[in-house]
Structure 1
């Protein structure tokens, strides 16, 4: 639990339960920050049934249990005991203190499905970081800028990666933590208006026509498993309908029915591993009451299927539902005879262990019902709602409207009441007191409340039709639903609101079995794709496979269609070269024959990569936050690819990587960083530090191991390296600053320059020792952080190199740009403080860049600054400034620009007219029935006049990735290549799986290159921070483009030739040393006596120093 103050109100956030104190707002914790919802936006939007105003879109955080893993062995316990397998595994990976628990202590090994599930175990990992404290942050430091993960989580992911690599292990995943899908806000069947509402108290049970169905069925003989927080089995309005295990004798301490659980008379507590599934939170009791509260007992409420039984399976509490507990609960439900399983919880998906578990339950003819989720997102991308066999249920309010938070989309099957739902209140609970009705009842909101209406309906259908298969129950409920929204099936309401009375009229429904075996979900595909799976119906009219882009509105295109049942699971082929490289939904649909055809569809996600260079992408399961550096390490006229990676949720590695142009690793690489808390999010630099004729690679790590590494091209450390830059007061999170490497003191050896989060600028010599006069404290403000990369150049043409760095000071009212001499002295007129009337400032800053803009022989400093007012004032949240070498702002500057202060401007002669242009990219906001984000690209002349601006509407650019400029097509002009984050203003595209960073190309005159020209380039994953780079990596004399994302490292062939690349900006901070300096070939030449001294070679020639 944690508390956030919002305009003097208190907001409690309880793992999926949101309780508003007064008029407070709330935020979801995310991977890269928060989705911040304003208090006014939340409350007023709830009234209007519209989503709240979103300020910073970001994917929802994937939650899991620290110190635990779900491991699946390749070998069955039928052939080798789990104890033996785990003992051998621990020995091989040197983890003697880890412990394991079989998830199914007594699985049925004679059943193939049970044997497969018996291979899963929960591993309790011995963590080194159990008692480590989180770093202290300055007072008022915003939540969204703190680390997106904690130390125990990072260690857990590192250890899981070690397990996953063992050859005896089939899979190793985090122990996912699901959340109850409800939003608490706040004899009743025949009453109304009890709490001041203008509708019946038990409006939900009535609106689905339950009373009309009760003459035919009341759920007799059907057991519904409630996999939840347990059930208050003593509650007077349900205790008679709590399932009893007839094979167990209470209290004798014996496992009478030999199912592996002692005295499990009412079910089992898989959360605490005991026989008491008592609800101490309240969620499960509320769900159970909607399903099976006792009827005709002159008490409280009545359940939808009030003669069914509910099986109490406790798998969590208010802090979440670990998947390890859910695993045991669902298997128990199946083995103990439950015919329906209610799953009113959810989280990020798909999740392969869950897929196997639910496939098993479906194979045993158990009806699976899940809440769609409360994420205002595509339900297909959440588990268990997204599983093809599940009946996925969205929520409705008393007026037949979908509340804004209810998930929608392709996988939404039906709708059911989920707002102001009255049901049972457990004796012990953590629910809001202002929603209590009559002491023992409570009103709750959420898709968690909608799902049990459908579970109850399924129980009634099964009681009348005990031989119906799960697909026939799904058909009966969907086919007879009351249509809502647009006519027919739609993304907001699915088939509509269930009508229980009408569903009972269905006779002999069709049997349908749908499955995609190939491709896998979110698979990269190239060339011809062969589909395999199931497309069966006993009344098949036809099956069809279609595709659409992931951006709504969807427009489906037919790939293939056939009226014959497929043979050997082969469904057909698709030539993916005929479509543009971007993410696509695939839909497999079976249509039944008859007078009233019925469509049942399942969906998967693919990413064609036909235009991606052969051998790429690489490390697709890693997250790339660093810029790409291209440098020739072995003097073969081919640039190598240097990029640093971090572990992602899907696995991957935290490593410094060097690839050849064909995608193979360069000898000696990668260099993995397996120490706890290592993060590699900044770019590598390349220079010959020790002057031995061979280039060296310099990079830094963050978090609790702030170190700078210098390695030879073969991966070995240079003497004296790595060095630490973490001072006692250093903040411990990602700093972004990359090393700059240059010979600043003219002694023939390059120095390494890098800032830290204490506000110090550090300079080290080639041997790793601090240079005299360094480090320097750039700002004396208490919360001063250097997150930018320093630039170097002789700005005043005095023959001496200066170092330029920009920074902000969190909470202060000024930006700062500093210029230092090689010996650490501030240049006259510097640092330059730019003051404002506000202290508003995000924690980030742009890296400065240098060039001679006006041809006077002196260098100008170009840097982003913040804007004085809030971003809504004038749309532009930042300014671009140009200073001369003395610190004077040049006439015509600053100019308003898009935000994203991490990104840096570029300088290039775009139109090849002998004059430089400045380009900058950032995010700004547009009004389109609400504030939406757009990417702004602006190009200026040296005098500050704007040449053009282009907007990529509804495309977010809140990242660190900066633009580059090269000649991509061989004509006379350069193109600006603009990386974008990959999130769209369409709700569901905030999801990790749907996001795809793009690289757009703009001509010198602002014309955007279109799809028929092969643009934008799609990355298949969000690109938060990876600046692309362009050079010849394969020796063909033409450029290749390389970029990273959360989907790995990609490369594409370009048409531009290497001989036509003067006055360009081909990578982060211009070059492989990150100087940030464009040395033009048409500026005023230096004085005669300086010609041999300046400028020095930008990239040191790789020959041995005599």
Structure 2
């Protein structure tokens, strides 16, 4: 899963080291006026920041999805039907106060009797299925390719990339280790853990090393609190050592505990019904994604979910490392077969030895009228140049089905910086953009956090898709895809994208050149359903 972890790291180090009518006919403000809106120069208030993705570009001048406007003007006194949303991810803390009432319960299964009551191949799958069993840490796909040895497809490319990434992570490890050592030394000198900038400035020492550590923390604490630093450095440490011990380690074997053959798509009798996973904290990613879609609206807890008539089906298939194609293919099929009408996949990788298994699953979802939404990825790459898996099109080929959306990430700042610096993009291979920076949602053990990534943009769109499918259930998955793309707000302003942060016109960095707009989408759904 190459989603949040690299973003955690970069944030930590930055702080510590310094056509159906078309959108034009239904948009709430004439398109030509949008690109001349005054820029919002004051920061968002905390209450607005927690739900900025629900705000309106025209009214609030932040590139939100107009969700609040949709509820207040279009959905008042309307009743929708329940939509099951499959969350294929790292696990979901189904005990969370803001999620437990919206978790899917398998109506055909009797809990705890050890029998496959509904005969779907999964025993006691009450809330979904865990295809990872008790495993969590995994290698990256390129590491698995190198482990298999010469002669394996893409071996030379994977080996060169692995060596490059190992060299880079060792440099990062040196920096992280130095900061951790500085933290420890200052704690010992001051005889307290929670020191502040004044404490550090007051240190008097002739010790050259301690003087160096003092300088480091004078810089760090000038820009952030010690509490915030502690969280970020922990994330940095976890990332670096996770890469070295698991993700980039050719000798690591994380799969043996599962007990299946990951190279055999017909070997399906594996995993368990614990959709949280062995450690709730490792389900942070999936819990956050679920909250973006479905955390309860207007209950004065945490943030607000996009959709109000949903049940979350948890499918645990994404480890700390790269997901296996087999787990993703079977996870998609599981969600489809058990009634999901929208599936969110906030994961991805750049090698996929068995991509045909996943593509077959996407075609199967299309046949069963299920919309699948994927995050575009967080590596600032042009996906027209480099393939990211899974997708519905590779190397310029036609789309394999009409039920897949690929989502890029927006930041809460209309103008030159509105595209998240980490977001992948592509005129052909990213469909549309949605909010993905500073998104506030549920995290394990009754907590809430701001997280960022295209991982957060994708479930924002899954929530809009669920709204459409709830209030206009006769519309097909392909029609919902069409609505989301055509009803988006088109922008033509200059933005920064890519690793070099070069300037590009927003209209050129995705297939639509638009940002998702729930209000417009529901208007178009109303028109199309007639």
How far apart are 1:16 and its partner, in Å?
Answer: 4.8
C-alpha distance in 1 between matches for 2:94 and 2:372: 23
Q: 1:475 to 1:13 in 2, by over 3 A?
A: closer
Q: TM-score, normalised by structure 1?
A: 0.28
C-alpha distance in 2 between matches for 1:324 and 1:257: 23
1:736-755 map, 5 Å: none
Gaps of 5+ in 1: 2-11, 26-38, 44-190, 428-438, 512-1106
What is residue 49 of structure 2 aligned with on the other side? 200
Q: 1:13 to 1:450 in 2, by over 3 A?
A: closer
How far apart are 1:460 and its partner, in Å?
Answer: 0.5
How far apart are 1:303 and its partner, in Å?
Answer: 0.5
Give SS of 1:377's match: coil
C-alpha distance in 1 between matches for 2:460 and 2:367: 23
1:599-638 map, 5 Å: none
How far apart are 1:404 and its partner, in Å?
Answer: 2.2
How far apart are 1:202 and its partner, in Å?
Answer: 1.1
Q: 1:318 to 1:16 in 2, by over 3 A?
A: farther
Question: Is the CA contact (8 Å cut-off) linking 2:326 and 2:357 kept in structure 1?
Answer: no
Deviations along 1:749-783, one digit per CA (max 9) or x if unpaired, are: xxxxxxxxxxxxxxxxxxxxxxxxxxxxxxxxxxx
Tell me, yes or no, if structure 1 residue 274 matches structure 2 residue 272. Answer: yes
What is residue 505 of structure 1 aligned with on the other side? 523
Deviations along 1:494-542, one digit per CA (max 9) or x if unpaired, are: 431111011111158789xxxxxxxxxxxxxxxxxxxxxxxxxxxxxxx
What is residue 154 of structure 2 aligned with on the other side? none
What is residue 379 of structure 1 aligned with on the other side? 383
How far apart are 1:483 and its partner, in Å?
Answer: 1.4
Question: Is the CA contact (8 Å cut-off) linking 1:339 and 1:366 kept in structure 2?
Answer: yes
What is residue 286 of structure 2 aligned with on the other side? 284
What is residue 322 of structure 1 aligned with on the other side? 324
Equivalent of 1:336, from 323, 335, 338? 338
What is residue 419 of structure 2 aligned with on the other side? 402
Give SS of 2:104's match: coil
How far apart are 1:359 and its partner, in Å?
Answer: 1.2
C-alpha distance in 2 between matches for 1:14 and 1:448: 7
C-alpha distance in 2 between matches for 1:15 and 1:212: 33
C-alpha distance in 2 between matches for 1:14 and 1:208: 22
Equivalent of 2:468, from 443, 447, 461? 461
Equivalent of 2:350, from 324, 344, 348? 348
C-alpha distance in 2 between matches for 1:307 and 1:488: 33
C-alpha distance in 2 between matches for 1:325 and 1:211: 36
Q: 1:21 to 1:405 in 2, by over 3 A?
A: closer
Question: Is the CA contact (8 Å cut-off) linking 1:237 and 1:301 kept in structure 2?
Answer: no
1:432-511 map, 5 Å: 440-485=447-492, 489-491=507-509, 494-507=512-525
What is residue 309 of structure 1 aligned with on the other side? 311
Q: TM-score, normalised by structure 2?
A: 0.57
How far apart are 1:21 and its partner, in Å?
Answer: 7.8
What is residue 209 of structure 1 aligned with on the other side? 66
How far apart are 1:15 and its partner, in Å?
Answer: 6.2
1:691-706 map, 5 Å: none
C-alpha distance in 1 between matches for 2:378 and 2:12: 21
How far apart are 1:316 and its partner, in Å?
Answer: 2.4
C-alpha distance in 2 between matches for 1:323 and 1:266: 22
1:37-186 map, 5 Å: none
Question: Is the CA contact (8 Å cut-off) linking 2:3 and 2:378 kept in structure 1?
Answer: no
Question: Is the CA contact (8 Å cut-off) linking 2:81 and 2:473 kept in structure 1?
Answer: no
C-alpha distance in 2 between matches for 1:218 and 1:396: 31
Give SS of 1:310's match: strand
Q: 1:510 to 1:244 in 2, by over 3 A?
A: same
Q: How many residues align?
A: 325
Give SS of 1:379's match: coil
Equivalent of 2:118, from 245, 249, 257? 257
Deviations along 1:593-637, one digit per CA (max 9) or x if unpaired, are: xxxxxxxxxxxxxxxxxxxxxxxxxxxxxxxxxxxxxxxxxxxxx
C-alpha distance in 1 between matches for 2:322 and 2:377: 14
Give SS of 2:85's match: strand
Question: Is the CA contact (8 Å cut-off) linking 1:269 and 1:276 kept in structure 2?
Answer: yes
How far apart are 1:20 and its partner, in Å?
Answer: 4.5
Give SS of 2:68's match: helix
Deviations along 1:345-388, one digit per CA (max 9) or x if unpaired, are: 11126722221111111111101111111121233521224543
How far apart are 1:299 and its partner, in Å?
Answer: 2.1
Give SS of 1:368's match: strand
How far apart are 1:484 and its partner, in Å?
Answer: 2.1
1:681-692 map, 5 Å: none
1:649-660 map, 5 Å: none
Hey, which of these two has a bigger chunk of strand by percent?
1
How far apart are 1:300 and its partner, in Å?
Answer: 2.0
C-alpha distance in 1 between matches for 2:6 and 2:103: 26
C-alpha distance in 1 between matches for 2:511 and 2:408: 7
How far apart are 1:193 and its partner, in Å?
Answer: 3.4
Tell me, yes or no, if structure 1 residue 232 matches structure 2 residue 66. Answer: no
Question: Is the CA contact (8 Å cut-off) linking 1:15 and 1:320 kept in structure 2?
Answer: no
Question: Is the CA contact (8 Å cut-off) linking 1:393 and 1:412 kept in structure 2?
Answer: yes
Q: 1:325 to 1:467 in 2, by over 3 A?
A: same
C-alpha distance in 2 between matches for 1:260 and 1:505: 41
Hey, which of these two has a bigger chunk of helix by percent?
2
Gaps of 5+ in 2: 19-42, 56-63, 134-270, 394-398, 494-504
Give SS of 1:411's match: coil
Q: 1:261 to 1:17 in 2, by over 3 A?
A: farther
Equivalent of 1:426, from 419, 444, 448? 444
Deviations along 1:916-965, one digit per CA (max 9) or x if unpaired, are: xxxxxxxxxxxxxxxxxxxxxxxxxxxxxxxxxxxxxxxxxxxxxxxxxx
Question: Is the CA contact (8 Å cut-off) linking 1:205 and 1:453 kept in structure 2?
Answer: no
What is residue 241 of structure 1 aligned with on the other side? 102
